[in-house]
Amino acid sequence: MDSINHGDRELVRSWASDLEPQTRRQAERSARCAAVAGPIALMPDAHLGIGATVGSVIPTENAIIPAAVGVDIGCGMIAVHTSLTAADLPDDLGPVLAGIEGAIPAGFAGHGEPSRAADRWLGANPVPDPGRLQLSHHRKIASQLGTLGGGNHFVEVGLDEAASVWLVLHSGSRGIGNLLAQRHITEARRLCSLLNRSLEDRDLAYFLDTDPQFQAYVTDMLWAQAYALQNRELMMDAAMAVLRAVIPTRVAELERINCHHNYCEREVHEGRSLWITRKGAIRAAKGDRGVIPGSMGTATYIVSGLGNPASYRSASHGAGRRFGRKEAHRRFTAAELRRAMRGRTWQEDKATQLLDEAPMAYKDITQVMADQADLVRVEHTLEAVVNYKGT
């Protein structure tokens, strides 16, 4: 871990051995924000974000920065260790991919009628202050619960070092998380401007807990985090059902891990009650189970936290991007992506669409894991045999 200081003040604690200068500058700028209550912890997958750096852990005491939490509130990972082994899988994994594609809708639109499970959850957990939303929003909230989205969200079937079969899935709070986040980000900018709160970057606009808008944001944020958690649960249930339908061997669930990596919660650190925003980071308190993916062509890691206090008991959320999406489309070809994905069953016919998710667009996950050996312990290393992404 390296410290980045300004005079006698520690601004940033960095675990990143591969850190672009503009990312470092952004982290330092975030750390100087008046709302921040201590050094920012920069994870080894850190890269440029909006306002705050993706792969950063931000402590605040009486404030929250909505743009630091981000627009996909509660985005995270879920993994299930199944009773299957590689020997139980069919030689042709095409039906597994097709089954997942049929069972888990992807993309950014609505997805028809909501499932009964989605209706039940929303009945027990209605969106806060529903009068703010249009009828179309309510329909989308229901129809998108249990759906994947696009971008870097994915479902994988993977094998660990003992050839045990795992299901791994990445998704968040879908359109409603984005809608709620954007509203609060806009309101935080307006409020900071109105009250002349000095900001180096308008995306560091914050609410103080004395602001009327603070509790409204916290209520929406916590609800969106619960929605995202349930979204992953429903999709994982659907993916398990696919395995049970396609594979004749009885499929049991041995373990399930569900963790956020874009979120904020109240925690106690060094005797202080703080709001800890993990923007592209997982909680890694001692014994916490976590899921850290690389990219669609590299390994995923099942980890347990070591509880390092210097990182606010946190670790990276993945490999971290090296190139932006447009740059990846300029740099790489479909042929290069197909070579990188050799040996996996995936949507090869959509290679051109998926270039922004090519493994070459991401940092080296092996180096990321080496950089955070004092934050987590690796329990399992998974290599994907099936990959499904939203396009």
Report how far residue 177's alpha carbon sits from residue 161's, in angstroms, rounded to the nearest whole number.
36
CA separation for the pair 111, 144 (Å, rounded) = 6
CA distances to 102, 139, 143, 202, 326 from 114, in Å: 15, 8, 4, 37, 33
Q: Which residues pair with 316 in a beta bridge?
A: 281
Active site residues: 317
State the first-to-last Cα distance of the chain, in angstroms, to the nearest integer.
37
Count of beta carbons in the 10 Å neighbourhood of residue 233: 17
Backbone angles phi, psi at 114, to 5 degrees: -70, 155
Which value, to the nearest 10 degrees, does the dihedral of the CA atoms of residues 223, 229, 235, 239 take? -170
Task: Return the DSSP state at 239.
Answer: H
Q: Which residues, 6 or more positions from 30, have their beta carbon under 8 angstroms from its beta carbon?
A: 36, 40, 51, 52, 53, 56, 58, 68, 201, 204
Residue 93 makes CB contacts below 8 A (sequence gap 6+) with 157, 345, 385, 386
